[in-house]
A and B are shown apart, each in its own frame.
Chain A
Amino acid sequence: MATTFKNILSTDMATTRTLLHEAIPITGTIVSGTYEDKNIKYYAHGMFESVYDYPYLSSSANRIFDLTYGYSSGLSAPANPQNDEKLNIYSEMSLVLMGTDGTGSIQEFDRDGDIVGGGEKMNACIFICYARLLTKDEIKKGSYTFSFIDGSLGLKTLGDYGAQTDYRVNSPAGEYGLLYTSSVGPDYGDPVGHLYYQAGIAVITASDGIWPNASQSAWIDTNSITGACDDVRNMWVDNNLQNTTELNSTIYFCRADSGEFNYSSNDTYLTQSKIIVKNDDASANPQSYITTIGLYSADNELLATAKLSEPVEKNPTNSLIFRVRLDY
């Protein structure tokens, strides 16, 4: 019986998981400078601002992150500009990223991540919310650095140093690492923020004066949220991270044994009904040239196709295995 299909056995299939990492640089010239802030989108509500990689009115622009600022109720004062908005931002972020305690109260950002042990809270924070376009499935642990101008001292760099092996899992939003100002381990000094890997959000404290060119009190009682965010942008020098894409793949091993797929239904294969490649020799080996592999359902619907970059000869003297990988 002539056949054009061959069944794929369960032993001809394998599933794999691959983590793909891309390096993402966000330079300070993009965040402030190159596009004269035409790539910064402000909103009437003033609760955050969006940074694009190109003037945002262009259809080719991509939003790369949002910046916002908030503080906890302990810093609340009715006279502060956007007092309610700053409170709301902080409570939204802490609700999503830190969750609530046993009584239903929203927990503040714990500086060292040891919530049960108590300790210092970060009660005013800058939030950098990266777009999924950049972070994909998650930020790679230990890949994050953020540099900004440190006044007369030059450059200050934050990073999730050591996070490959040391990160926290007590957040409802997934895993997070601690941001430090020094890469010298094992004691990196006091943490100055959190980096939520799956959520793609960096939370950096604004309460201990790590932002030298901005006045902490001004952010609270003089500046709006966008004012604080603009200060951060103007201090921005460099930001690097690696994202992670989780590829789940199914590999199909398509085996063409020696006696299989040696003839073709191609319109040019025959002259009338005579096989051209046999060259008028009935005993000659047939041959065919493979360019395409089609993967089919049981009812013969073509579900996936794979193309070879060049034809591969098939004849009764060879046997081929094609490894077709479909990523999901």
Chain B
Amino acid sequence: MAFLDNSGDIILDAVLTDTGRMRMAKGDGSFKITKFALGDDEINYKLFDGTATTGEQDLQIMSTPILEAFSNNTSGMKSKLISLANNPGLYMPVIRENNKVDATTGPTSNDYNTWLCAVDAETQGYTSSGGDTTGDLVKALGDYSAGDFFKVGVLTGFQGAGPYIMVDQGIDSGEDGPSAVSAISAELYESQYLIEMDSRLCSLISSDASTTAAVSFIDDDQIASYYLSQAVNTTFVETNPGAGKPEASQQVIGGPRGSRLMFAIRASLNLQTSVALFTRLGSTFTTPGSPNPAQTYFYIDSNIRVTGVTTGSRVDIPIRFCKWKETA
């Protein structure tokens, strides 16, 4: 996309997104605009110069060139503007991935510094008789035993419960900000989350693998959107147990804490049974080979995006889908 001409009057460049065109083509009435949001994707607020004189503080921000509109519905409106009824003072809530709880520390322990998802029985080390598999990803990653999913951050994408992804919301203030014992205001409490992921690769399940989340819709790029609210999806969203408490050992939010989102993923049938997507979208990697034999795996790197529906803050969680290929 090119930049918009900003040499004269302010102009507005409007386009339908690919999803908008798709819904219009369906002719089923699903193309109906009912709300709007404002975005500031191009703005770097760090350019705000608080030491400059009034009127010159945002000089660099105001001269930011703006790109033409993207027609891909997932490429635009990444950061939305927020309406708040009350002045929150100096602090706004954020969303952070929590890797400090036992079930979530795994990604910080493996060599890839990301969540790994074993997509089939062979890679997950699952057999109906309880025996080992050659391609067990956990064992191949290092000095681990079969079933050490938690230690090394391997999500059980084939079946069963295992490690899960945790996202905390709250005001991550420093020492001079509000403390963790303070309560977050109701206005800034996030009670609903939007989770977006590639539906070709995986689907969303609860952290204990007991519940499969209902997908809200899948767009033309196969991105599935799940809306989870604390009122309805109690197995996914809860109030942070550390809210109003000073404890910091298993928390990533330094100040007042809000809600907590927990979820796991299940690999798609396509990934479980075929290497087609791996060869098209991914590549292969080989594990170190010590102390267990080195194994080669197909992999696809993807992201899961978590957005707070109320506050608009978001976090992208990288994830690597792995499928055993052969012994190296």
> Residues of A at under 8 Å CB distance from B?
1-8, 250, 252, 254, 256, 259-270, 272-283, 286-314, 322-326
Contact B10 A309 (CB under 8 A): yes
Are B48 and A276 neighbours in the complex by a CB distance under 8 Å? Answer: yes
Distance (whole angstroms) from the CB of A202 to the closest CB of chain B: 34
Does B239 interact with chain A (Cβ within 8 Å)? no
**Cβ contacts under 8 Å, A303 to chain B:** 16-17, 19-20, 23, 31, 33, 73
Determine the chain A residues whose CB is within 8 A of the CB of B70 once the complex forms: 305
Chain B residues lying within 8 Å of A308, measured Cβ to Cβ, are 4, 10-12, 66
Chain A's closest residue to B34 (CB) is A298
Least Cβ–Cβ distance between A229 and chain B, in angstroms: 39
How far does the alpha carbon of A144 sit from the alpha carbon of B172 in the complex, in Å?
A: 70
> Which residues of the other chain, B, contact A8 by a CB distance below 8 angstroms?
33-36
User: Which among A1, A288, A304, A313 is the interface contact of B20 at CB below 8 angstroms?
Assistant: A304
Give chain B's interface residues, CB within 8 Å of chain A. Answer: 4-6, 10-17, 19-20, 23, 30-46, 48, 50, 57-58, 61-64, 66-71, 73-74, 76-77, 79-85, 87-94, 171-174, 177, 186-188, 194, 216-217, 219, 225, 227, 254-255, 308-314
Residues of B with C-beta under 8 A to A269: 45, 79, 92
Verify A275–B90 contact, CB threshold 8 A.
yes
Do B81 and A4 touch across chains, with their CB atoms under 8 A apart?
yes
Report the minimal beta-carbon distance from B303 to chain A, rounded to whole angstroms: 14
**B contacts with A: majority SS:** loop
User: Does A264 contact B81, Cβ atoms closer than 8 Å?
Assistant: yes
Determine the chain B residues whose CB is within 8 A of the CB of A279 once the complex forms: 48, 50, 57
Could you tell me the distance in whole angstroms from the C-beta of A305 to the nearest C-beta in chain B? 4
Are B76 and A294 in contact, CB atoms less than 8 angstroms apart?
yes
A292→B39 contact, CB < 8 A:
yes
Query: Shortest CB–CB separation between residue A6 and chain B, in angstroms?
Result: 6
Quick one: which of B16, B57, B77 contacts A292, CB cutoff 8 A?
B77
Contact (Cβ within 8 A) B83 A260: yes
Residue of A279, A289, A299 contacting most chain B CB atoms (<10 Å): A289
Q: Can you name 11 A-B residue pairings with CB atoms under 8 Å?
A: A4-B311, A266-B41, A277-B58, A291-B42, A294-B77, A303-B17, A308-B10, A308-B66, A309-B4, A311-B61, A323-B12
Cross-chain contact A2 with B82 (CB below 8 angstroms): yes
- B69 near A307 with CB under 8 A, answer yes
How far, in angstroms, from A325 to B89 measured CA to CA in the complex?
A: 37
A262 to B83, CA, bound (A): 6
Q: Inside 8 A of A297's CB, which chain B residues have their CB?
A: 23, 30-34
With contacts A3-B310, A298-B34, A307-B67 known, what are 16 further pairs, Cβ within 8 A?
Answer: A1-B310, A5-B37, A6-B37, A7-B35, A254-B38, A259-B83, A263-B84, A264-B40, A273-B91, A277-B58, A282-B87, A290-B39, A292-B41, A294-B36, A301-B225, A309-B11
Q: Which chain A residue has the least Cβ–Cβ distance from B44?
A: A268
Contact of B84 among A262, A276, A312 (CB under 8 A): A262
